[in-house]
Structure 1
């Protein structure tokens, strides 16, 4: 866990918490590098002071509760670790004080948790997240069949129904609803090709849009996401998920082109 310099110099202050979810293969090797990035940005004033928690998601947990119950990774972090951090450190112990961020497998977990637990996390960001496809037949999976088989066995017990149930797009459909009062609505393009409009209860707007291949993850409003989609050539579009929790301007979570 990383604490900023202000944590010691301002003993009465409470700090937001970023939960960083690593990618497959384990994340221990990257903690020192990421800590240096966060520390440099905070000391330079580019990033507000925050605590950064680096949970250990093991090599290939997909940050999900395994179907057989042997590795309840999601439950351990959301239901056990988050309350422990709030009880042990001076945190902003509300959803507005918690941010999820993750890379690859960690981006998959961040998107699922952010959608599934809006009362716990106020915002989320994901980089090169995956697997996001509903059939688990993307380039990484088909190029590493042994790894795909191992993940399906260990996490999902070879049950594709359980795999689909843990997909962020499935979770989004479960927690979203139509809301004709939302004037900032944007179309959501589902993996199946259906066009729907999804709106999270509590005014959390979800819109699936597409950005150009060269675009990097950033922060946009739903309208900006839609404008980028409309302005990009169809062949250059890629799937992205724009999530705007209450009180947060927006967070773009990108997948590989």
Structure 2
């Protein structure tokens, strides 16, 4: 399993890193669209669409990306709708735990998913347009929160964060992830070595105190995104969103925390 996981990671990095660093924005957007469409397919499967339903849903999401780009749909509107979804529906679902793949909830989540995935794509393309360092700093927020949570949880984890949804997550881990983001983000904002980044943009637009508060909000929503997908998987009775990435699970497993962070981060920058 470890060997498979490492090989998959190497292949993914071999594709993602050169495209992110050196390819034109259009090529980067095409790669992200490819990722998002597969995530949409997994989203539909977790919502228990049968037959060719997940494929049709993925194609609808792909069409939404194309139309929202070429028809001039304001990306900010999509970002706002996605942010509203995560601010309201995300915490509500985690607290009340309704049956997400049934009735009105499934219809709502299928519609919301189109918006969420389109917003994810637009946010990443907009960030890449600003610069490589900016888009990488967006991803870094989630990566740091995840890495910090893992090590802090392993060393200090005692109090379960959401035992009925994801038993392995702890409050100590979540705090450790937050500390990692705050420390690295503060250093990046103070040194200006790779500016412009999300961290320098926060300080420039919000000031230091509100910038740190904004990073705290992003860490919180990275956890919400992760837990939301965990709830979907638990209710669907699966461990991973799919087997597309050997050793890693599915695409959605890799980007779940990014889905709420991206639109909220772009909106906070203004």
Which TM-score bucket, shorter chain as reference?
Answer: under 0.3
Larger relative strand fraction = 1
Q: If the length of structure 1 is used for normalisation, what is the TM-score? A: 0.28
Q: If the length of structure 2 is used for normalisation, what is the TM-score? A: 0.27
